[in-house]
Amino acid sequence: MEGWEIIEISNQIIDSKNIIEVQRLYIELTDKLERGNFAPSKEVMKKSNEVFIITTGKCRDFYEEWGRKEINPTDEQLDWTENLVNKLLVDIDKLSIQEFPIFYDKTRQLADKKGLKLCKENIWKEKINRGNFYTKNNNTKY
């Protein structure tokens, strides 16, 4: 695998307006980075860090549009966004702030983490309100 694949997927994430597509592409990107048998160049690492920040922003935009009632997310959108938020929460703890642009400091990282947790909590609340919430262990509907 070449670094150009990472950059290509990154550009697709940046251009996407669909939260489901963003989630699918972000998972593909991180899988390729984690499983890649190559040493990522500085350009690839810079692009993947940029995509992390942009993807977090896309989750924030989704959440804010939903909060302003500009969108009424489908169950599928809620599921995919929840999966994306879960992945971002795992990834955010792995970040080395030194590799990010200067504006993305520890304070920004903590604010993003707090926002992702709030988004996840509100997705859960919405799923409960819709009667579409299942526990991961036994698929019991709440």
Residue 7 forms part of a structural domain: yes
Rounded Cα–Cα distance for residues 79 and 124 (Å): 10
Residue 135 forms part of a structural domain: no
Residue 49 forms part of a structural domain: yes
pLDDT class for 140, splitting at 50, 70, 90?
Answer: very low
Q: What is the pTM assigned to this prediction?
A: 0.83
Residue 122 pLDDT exceeds 60: yes
What are the phi and psi torsion angles at 3 (to 5°)? Answer: -65, -25
Structural domain tally of the chain? Answer: 1
Residue 64 forms part of a structural domain: yes
pLDDT class for 133, splitting at 50, 70, 90?
Answer: low
Residue 70 forms part of a structural domain: yes
In sequence order, which residues have a C-beta less than 8 Å from that of residue 135 and are 6 or more positions away?
142
Residue 142 forms part of a structural domain: no
Residue 140 forms part of a structural domain: no
Rounded Cα–Cα distance for residues 73 and 56 (Å): 18
**Structural domain boundaries enclosing 53:** 3-130
Residue 108 forms part of a structural domain: yes
Comparison of pLDDT for 41 and 56, the residue scoring more: 56
- Whether the CB-CB separation of 121 and 60 falls below 8 Å is answered with no
Of 4-8, 44-48, 132-136, the least confident? 132-136
